[in-house]
Structure 1
Amino acid sequence: MTFGAVILAGGHSRRMGQCKVKLVIGGETLLARTVRQLADFPELWLSANDPGLAEGLPVLLAADRYPDAGPLAGIEAALSATDTDALVCFPCDLPNLTAELPRLLAERFSPELDALVLADSTGRLHPLCGVYHRRALAAIRRQLEQGQRRVLDLLPHLRWASLSGEIPDRVLYNLNTPEDLLRLQASK
């Protein structure tokens, strides 16, 4: 199987009050850091509502074909455009993402699956952190055409599994608000 990766950066950052991908963490933007963590993949897509975010980065831009339909539309756009069998998927707002996690997901992905998603230590699923096979496209498109945007609602229509217990929960910590950013800075 061949794997590419997609970074989901299409949100409006309303709760943060500023563009999250441009936040500087440890001397680099959150987007540049995420690109670096996914650099092992030969094909790296960016799903963003601002095409200018891709400038200067080694990414391909995946334009949404379903406007304002959230991250599920970003996954659909990248899966529609990729030449790989499956895409490892991550949101742009995980400051603790390491290169080992995307590699682990690709290694654990079974060819019989349509999706493999991460679960934290409580069992809570994180469907924006996972692997999606191109076979999932039909179900994704059906859901989007019905106006259903939640990625969690997609899973019952796929052959999927979850991966848990192999990564610390702190890797799944995401930045949504200024308070989240302050907590991250206080923990460093």
Structure 2
Amino acid sequence: MEISVGILAGGKSTRMGTNKAFLPFKQTSFIESIAKECKDFSKIILSVNDLEAYKNIGYELVRDEKEGFGPLEGVYQILKKADTEFALILAADMPYVNRIFLNKFCSCLDNPELLKNGKGEMPYCIVLCADNMLEPLCSLYARKALPYIEQMREREEHKLRILYERVYTKYIDIEDLGYTKQIITNINTQEEYKKIIDIN
């Protein structure tokens, strides 16, 4: 099954003090590094807060219509732009995410019978979990969830967990994929960034 990838790079990076997406990492930047790990997917879409800043990056861009609405708005804009049934949504600041891990996670779509509920329907969301915590920004979303997200936007509801409660959502534990939560760790502060740079 073809899958689009949406990378959320529209956050304010308040705690970091600068745009995390463009921080140097592995001879490139965070955003370019994670996009490189997504090369097996059919399309890469970036959700950004400044179209001009990303105009030369070479990927399709979307921008929030509803300001200050958080990741839900980015998911919404990416799903509208995607031309595949599912889109993998990722945060731009996950330094450990790699191609093998992403492909293994998304391979769950190759076994639809294991994903269907008792009514025989496929999930609207396939959400990764680690240590009983949800990771909404390394999860799969179906385009058929768009009407529900539109309703949430109208109601000023911006938490992705509300979406999970309203549609059929399948949860996958990261340990069942053979990984720990470290692979989906993100970077929020200069101190965390320095540790990553020292390791790499």
TM range (shorter): over 0.9
The AA in structure 1 aligned to 2:186 is N
Q: How much does 1:182 deviate? A: 2.5
Q: How much does 1:151 deviate? A: 1.3
Aligned to 2:125: 115
Using structure 2 for the length normalisation, give the TM-score.
0.87
Q: How much does 1:78 deviate? A: 1.1
1-side partners of 2:41 and 2:108: how far apart? 15
The AA in structure 1 aligned to 2:153 is L
Per-residue CA deviations over 1:67-100 (Å, capped at 9, x if unaligned) read 2211110110111121111101100010111012
Q: Report sequence identity in percent.
A: 25
Aligned to 1:22: 22
Q: Does residue 172 of structure 1 match 2:188?
A: no
The AA in structure 2 aligned to 1:157 is R
Using structure 1 for the length normalisation, give the TM-score.
0.92
Q: How many residues align?
A: 187
Of 81-90 and 174-183, the range deviating more from structure 2: 174-183
The answer to whether the Cα contact below 8 Å between 1:8 and 1:91 also exists between their aligned partners in 2 is yes
Q: How much does 1:16 deviate? A: 0.5
Q: 5 Å matches for 1:90-169?
A: 90-109=90-109, 110=112, 112-120=122-130, 122-164=131-173, 165=175, 166=177, 167-169=179-181
The answer to whether the Cα contact below 8 Å between 1:88 and 1:105 also exists between their aligned partners in 2 is no
Q: How much does 1:187 deviate? A: 4.0
Change (3 A) 1:57 1:40: farther
Q: Secondary structure at the match of 1:31?
A: helix
Q: Secondary structure at the match of 1:108?
A: helix
Larger Rg: 2
Question: Over aligned residues, Cα RMSD in angstroms?
Answer: 1.6
2-side partners of 1:168 and 1:187: how far apart? 18
Aligned to 2:118: none
Q: Secondary structure at the match of 2:139?
A: strand
